[in-house]
Amino acid sequence: MSIFDVLSLGCGLALFLYGMEVMGDALKRSAGNSLKTILGKMTSNPVTGFLLGLGVTAVIQSSSATTVMVVGFVNSGTMTLMQAAGVIMGANVGTAVTSWLTGMSSLGAGAESALDIIRWFKPSSWMPILALVGICLIMFAKRNRQKDVGSIMLGFSVLMVGMDMMSDSVGALAESESFRNILIMFENPVLGVLAGLVLTAIVQSSSASVGILQSLTTTGAITYGAAIPIVMGQNIGTCVTAMLSSISANRNGKRAAIVHLYFNIIGVVVWLAAFSIADAIFDFAFVDAAINMWGVAGIHTIFKILCVVLMGPFYKQLVKLAEITIKDKKDENEPSSLLDERFIDTPAVAVDRATAVVSQMADLATDGLQMSLDLFEQYDSKLAEEIREKENKVDMLEDALGSYMVQVSSHSMNEQDSRQITKLLHIIGDYERISDHSVNIVESAEELRDKKVEFSGDAKKELSVLHSAIGQILEITRQASTNNDLVKAAEIEPLEQVIDELIERIKRHHILRLQKGECTIELGFVLNDLLINYERVSDHCSNIGGCIIEISQYGALDMHKYLASVRHGSEDFEQKYQIYKKIYTI
């Protein structure tokens, strides 16, 4: 084997890995919305989890990617460990699809001459067409989904070209006595397992390492006896990616990665021992026979199925073993745990997680503001402290969400997810300001308490009406943003207009009370601060409502145009405005 063969082998490996990366990324983008729907709504049925894990992995061609996502779901609390166990088992079987696809490169000239139609199963026959169609879609298609399909085609083409290059470059090894001696070492089961483990840990993909093994079978020097332990070791090596991913996860996230590791280790120990004992007793003739690409794919698949047969009935015990390994401690259950960086490579799932956290942020901000209004009925220091804690959480969530969504935005995503990110980035700023105003209102209530003064009876009645209107606009805004409800969003602006008029009327009435001596300048300062906060809260609600409508309908935000369109000549706006005006009167 010359230096040029080595370079060709390296080039083939690079193309193989790059093709797999391109194809996998495109598949994840294309199937992203399906992934977040399927994996985000798991049942406790392990069979359903197994089938979903199998299907998702067969699509994205990577058990490591699926398992890393599962670690993220468990880490965020979206999925339980019991649910994760079934998905992980399915992912292990699903990744075997790649070995059958790469095995097609072994269809040779003999098959072509035997049956002419078989030539279309040989990648060299149809790969050029696939590559040409793929590059045309990437270059000329206007829709992102079509471009993703083109990337899938081109990525698979590059993968198969790399496979062929690796196979051609190692052809000379068939005559190498040194190479044969090295392979004989791998017929020792333990060394074979270690070889497969190390190779897979280095390339971070069992599919890639199995492809490398398949390319080496073209030398005719690898036997079934050598290949079986290597394939088993590759299944342990693929756990490295999930284990690395779990380093920053909480305890349940780490347990999900441990379940994956134990599943493969136990499977290797049991089935390798069983095979070795059976071979010693029956002396299988095929053990010394040369293996081909299809043989590697078959062993790979059979081993994975046998592991599921072995461990499937004991998935609860597998989870228990993981819990014993990673013992319980008090985990922090912060909402931001949903913002797991493992999801960023699958933007559709990451956007879904960010949306869930924005909903939690909306709840915190809305509840805090509502609670601050209650302080004017009866001041409670514990309630005031709780409001401040909510405001601190909202601040932390805004920072976490902003950083997270900027990272997600750097990845390619479909138009729907792009719009959602844009909307969320606008909304979080308004909710953060609403939360700030809740603390300002607390400070006004504390000022009244400290100075031992209170508003007049008329002022209290007027503020009670205003508080009810503020409470309703907050609740409507929360429902609109949480559910992307355009009907609710359209109700915000008419109510905001009524609140503005209420505030102006309260200000005029306060001046009249001052002139009559029924109120003081000191109370007037507190009232003015309160009214400014209330007006700004309703303005932020208006911003959120306008953002939801504008981005959902037009994909861009133009608040001036939106406000002008709804306030002038809109019958729906006028109708809702009159309804709210009758409800909230002073």
Q: Where are the domains of the chain?
A: 11-325, 339-583
Residues 193, 289: Cα–Cα separation, whole Å: 19
pTM of this prediction? 0.60
CA dist list (Å): 358 to 4, 13, 210, 332, 517? 56, 43, 42, 19, 47
> What phi and psi, each to the nearest 5 degrees, are found at residue 53?
-60, -40
What is the pLDDT at residue 166?
Answer: 65
CA dist list (Å): 475 to 319, 362, 481, 488, 491? 41, 10, 10, 10, 11
Residues 517, 271: Cα–Cα separation, whole Å: 93
Question: Which token pair is 110?
Answer: 């003999």
Report the largest interatomic distance among the alpha carbons of the chain, rounded to a whole angstrom.
111
Q: Which fold has domain 339-583?
A: Methane Monooxygenase Hydroxylase; Chain G, domain 1 (1.20.58)
What is the pLDDT at residue 120?
Answer: 52
What is the pLDDT at residue 34?
Answer: 57
What is the pLDDT at residue 498?
Answer: 95
Report which residue type is found at 130: L
Per residue, the 3-state secondary structure of 300-358, as one string, reads: HHHHHHHHHHHHHHHHHHHHHHHHHHCCCCCCCCCHHHHCCHHHCCCHHHHHHHHHHHH
Mean pLDDT by 10 residues, the chain (586 residues): 76 76 67 55 67 76 68 68 86 77 56 46 67 90 82 80 68 53 64 82 69 77 87 86 70 86 93 92 88 87 92 90 80 56 78 90 95 90 94 92 90 83 93 96 92 88 94 96 91 94 94 85 90 95 91 70 65 89 92
